[in-house]
Amino acid sequence: MFKPLNILDENHKVLRKHSEEVKLPLSKEDKDTINQIITHLKYSQIEKLAEKYDLRPGMGLAFPQLGKLKRIIVIVHEYEEGKFKNYVIVNPKIISHSEEKIALETGEGCLSVNREVEGHVPRYARITITGYDPDGEKITIRAREDLSVAFQHEVDHLDGILFFDKIDKNKPFFTENDDVRLI
């Protein structure tokens, strides 16, 4: 039986703390949490299920958003209508990135931020991220465009950073004349 996750709100102090490295192999509890996150994120992106369970659409979630200060992120990417790829990275590190910067034209959202936030968040267009899968195997992922944005957003959570912290208060929106490409 599916039960929506209890995701912390942006005002919760845990979301501003630095998460700890995780010892491998993962505990059964952590693996169970990962499976719950994958189901929640997938259901949130399927309109019928999102309505049924009253879920806001989300593509990623980091353990701190559930009150667990562990360096684990999960992304469920719908790469084609109804087709999903799950990414689970334990102790992720961004090891390289492009010079090119991008921002989501519509702005970013977050399952911990239950309000509209105006502004563009500058991110790297392409990144390479390393870490471990839930079984302790070393993995390396190259991500671009919206997937790159998602990984950077979730890694920020592990360091107590929320997306709106990166919006320039003096110039919240980018234009064609800026060095940031809107996607």
**CATH classification of the domain holding 32:** 3.90.45.10
Quickly list DSSP for 54-86. Answer: T----SEEEGGGGT--B-EEEEEEEEETTEEEE
Overall residue count recorded for the chain in this entry: 183
Domain annotation covers residue 7: no
Domain annotation covers residue 8: no
The active-site residue out of 78, 99, 145, 154 is 154
The C-alpha atoms of residue 123 and residue 53 are separated, in whole angstroms, by 31
User: What are the tens digits of pLDDT across the range 77-102?
Assistant: 999 999 999 999 999 999 999 999 99
Domain holding 176, by residue range, is 13-182
DSSP three-state, residue 35? helix
> Is 154 considered catalytic here?
yes
Domain annotation covers residue 4: no
User: How many domains does the chain contain in total?
Assistant: 1
Instruction: Please tell me the predicted confidence (pLDDT) of residue 1.
Output: 84
Domain annotation covers residue 129: yes
Mean pLDDT, range 141-158, rounded to an integer: 98
Domain annotation covers residue 18: yes
User: What are the tens digits of pLDDT across the range 45-81?
Assistant: 999 999 999 999 999 999 999 999 999 999 999 999 9
